[in-house]
Amino acid sequence: MTTSATDRTREVPASRGATDARTLVNKLWSYCNVLRDDGVSVLDYVEQLTFLVFLKMAHEQMHRRIKPIDILGFDAWQELLDLEGVELEARYTEILGELSRRSGILGRIFQKSQNRIQDPAKLKRLIRELIGKEVWAGTNTDVKGDAYEELLAKGAEDVKSGAGQYFTPRALIAAMVDCMQPSVHDTVMDPACGTGGFLLKAFEYIQHHLPASASQEEKDRLTSGAIQGNELVDGTARLAAMNMVLHGIALSSSGTSPITVGDALAEPPKQHASLVLANPPFGKKSSITIISDEEGDSERKELTYSRRDFWATTTNKQLNFVQHIFTLLETYGRAAVVVPDNVLFEGGIGEIVRRRLLQQCDVHTLLRLPTGIFYAGGVKANVLFFEKPPPRQDGKPLTRTLWVYDFRTNQRFTLKQNPLRRHDLDDFVHAYRPGEPRNERSENPAFKPYPVEELLAREKVSLDLFASLQDKSLEVTDLSVEPHTLARQIVDELEAALSEFASVAEALRPRGPVTSPMSGDE
């Protein structure tokens, strides 16, 4: 990639990439604490970096010696460099407002943008000393992209900001992508993309496994159309869009943004995907009323989606996302989805959804995850892997065998002292056997197959299954565990138990009439 000043190519060796990214992160992060004293939150800081980095990149592209590109139509960065004090703050605010009205990726990044840095002196320092001294358009894509990912990760660590709800552990994402093996022929979607972690890891995987025979058309599609995400929250969608740009996806200012904003559950999908990777938001309730009575009253507080393509109506967001992802998949499409425990055992609508999923998809693998790996405390989650083959002529369920991998029993993780690493999931990925026939899988103490007939016969079609591992924590206390780590684990377990009790209480709460399954889908 060419630089703005000399048009020289800066190659960053792979061995230096991670170090350079951390150096860049430490440099940018050092200023975060200064701004936090002024009430600028971690997410606000990363958001302001998003705006300013993009303006700096546009400046660099505009001043290239060979084939300069005028992305904005004016040199916003130079204007900011030339101003001081109140004039700088006022012009920065004007620029954000002007760009927010643009179309394409520009509009997506700057939509509803606001200046959160009210001290002009600190804004000036951020522009000149931190961002201004980096050549962003000339920096290796992996370095600047990885740096941005690390900034987002640091934001997720800030529990008070709530940023962690948009951030899936990157080790888990990497293992899921390794199992799914996305290719240049895939259309990859995430209907609840957060900051874009799944999309970027899939993009990276495809790039690293790009066949020599790949056409230029396929390569172009990879950066402009093959990777798509949706996010409900404007600010988070902005971070995701910038994350895409820094990794080389949808750089054109006139192109359609790879990130859309809105409620993915509100209407049937307009496009379909061959691969869906997702970690839908935790929490059971939705907060907007979609269906009201005939007089248009909005007294109903819960969100019920009127989707004829859903198997059943429910206010449970996770069950709705499972149904939505089914509708997103094209025939022969495949999905890997993080779901909380209640999706596996909840009765009523939960039973309907699980039964339909087993019948109309090949639900072939379930990974049981431990607590302590998510930024939201006490989460007990799983990963469901399934495919969408065409219906069988004999009408039998498309699921034949569900393999359950127990990665929860005897596993102890915390976010800081003992975080989840990619190598912790090596055994699961090996047992999964990516790209190989599932009838060649081998049963072991952690990996057990369940025939679909047994699953459908279970009470409420519960998929709350485990392998036959013995919990060693019941035998002896591990004296090597630090007290603060053990205390964190206990808190996580208690929070998870409270969450499950809440799910049971919610399931027992009196409700209105339940929408029956659509006829003809059995």
- Main-chain phi, psi angles of 477, to 5 degrees: -80, 135
The residue ranking higher by pLDDT, 515 or 67, is 67
Q: Which DSSP state fits 263?
A: -
Looking from the CA of 441 toward its CB, the CA atoms found within 13 Å total 26
Question: How do residues 175-223 score in pLDDT, each as one tens digit?
Answer: 999 999 999 999 999 999 988 899 999 999 999 999 999 999 998 898 8
The residue ranking higher by pLDDT, 246 or 220, is 220
Give the residues across from 245 on adjacent strands.
Answer: none
Is 315 domain-assigned? Answer: no
CATH number at residue 421: 3.40.50.150
Is 207 domain-assigned? Answer: no
Number of domains in the chain: 2
User: Is the distance from CB of 406 to CB of 365 less than 8 angstroms?
Assistant: no
> Rounded to an integer, what distance in angstroms lies between the CA atom of residue 489 and that of residue 486?
5
| Lowest model confidence (mean pLDDT) among 287-291, 334-338, 394-398, 409-413 | 287-291
Range of the domain at 432: 321-508
Confidence of residue 522 (pLDDT cuts 50, 70, 90): very low
Is 9 domain-assigned? Answer: no
Confidence of residue 343 (pLDDT cuts 50, 70, 90): very high
pLDDT of residue 439: 93
pLDDT of residue 157: 65
Q: Mean pLDDT over residues 474-489, rounded?
A: 52
Is 82 domain-assigned? Answer: yes
CATH number at residue 79: 1.20.1260.30
pLDDT of residue 139: 57
| Lowest model confidence (mean pLDDT) among 135-144, 190-199, 461-470, 471-480 | 471-480
> Rounded to an integer, what distance in angstroms lies between the CA atom of residue 55 and that of residue 126?
13
Nearest to 401, CA basis, from 422, 387, 381, 383: 387
Q: Is the pLDDT of residue 476 over 80?
A: no
> Rounded to an integer, what distance in angstroms lies between the CA atom of residue 521 and that of residue 453?
18
Question: How do residues 32-65 score in pLDDT, each as one tens digit?
Answer: 777 777 777 777 888 888 888 889 888 988 998 8
Q: Is the pLDDT of residue 165 over 90?
A: no
Q: Is the pLDDT of residue 398 over 60?
A: yes
Q: Is the pLDDT of residue 348 over 60?
A: yes
Among 83-87, 286-290, 498-502, which range has the highest average pLDDT?
83-87
pLDDT of residue 254: 44
User: Could you give the angle at which helices 317-328 and 349-360 cross, rounded to 10 degrees?
Assistant: 20
pLDDT of residue 293: 41
What percentage of residues in the chain have a pLDDT greater than 90? Answer: 45
Is 296 domain-assigned? Answer: no
> Rounded to an integer, what distance in angstroms lies between the CA atom of residue 374 and that of residue 370?
9
The residue ranking higher by pLDDT, 42 or 414, is 414
pLDDT of residue 108: 83
Helix, strand or coil for residue 241?
Answer: helix
Whole-structure pTM over 0.85, yes or no?
no
> Rounded to an integer, what distance in angstroms lies between the CA atom of residue 430 and that of residue 440?
12
Is 255 domain-assigned? Answer: no
Look up residue 416 and give its two tokens. Answer: 């800081």
Last residue of a domain, one of 113, 141, 161: 161
Question: How do residues 65-97 score in pLDDT, each as one tens digit?
Answer: 888 888 889 999 999 999 999 999 999 999 999
pLDDT of residue 85: 93
Is 251 domain-assigned? Answer: no
> Rounded to an integer, what distance in angstroms lies between the CA atom of residue 136 and that of residue 60?
8
pLDDT of residue 208: 94
Is 282 domain-assigned? Answer: no
Instruction: Judge residue 519's burial from the number of C-beta atoms within 10 Å of its C-beta, 0-12 exposed, 13-18 middle, 19 or more buried.
Output: exposed
Question: What would the 3-class secondary structure string for 176-221 be?
Answer: HHHHHCCCCCCCEEECCCCCCHHHHHHHHHHHHCCCCCCCHHHHHH
Find all residues with CB under 8 Å of 315, minimum gap 6, and list them: 284, 285, 286, 302, 303, 304
Nearest to 380, CA basis, from 472, 314, 461, 464: 464
The residue ranking higher by pLDDT, 80 or 474, is 80
The residue ranking higher by pLDDT, 451 or 501, is 451
Q: Which residue has the tokens 């209907």?
A: 191
pLDDT of residue 104: 78
pLDDT of residue 124: 93
- Average pLDDT taken over every residue of the chain: 81
Last residue of a domain, one of 161, 179, 197: 161
> Rounded to an integer, what distance in angstroms lies between the CA atom of residue 462 and that of residue 66?
62
Last residue of a domain, one of 161, 180, 196: 161
| Lowest model confidence (mean pLDDT) among 295-304, 332-341, 344-353, 480-489 | 295-304
Nearest to 9, CA basis, from 69, 65, 58: 65
Look up residue 190 and give its two tokens. Answer: 């995430």
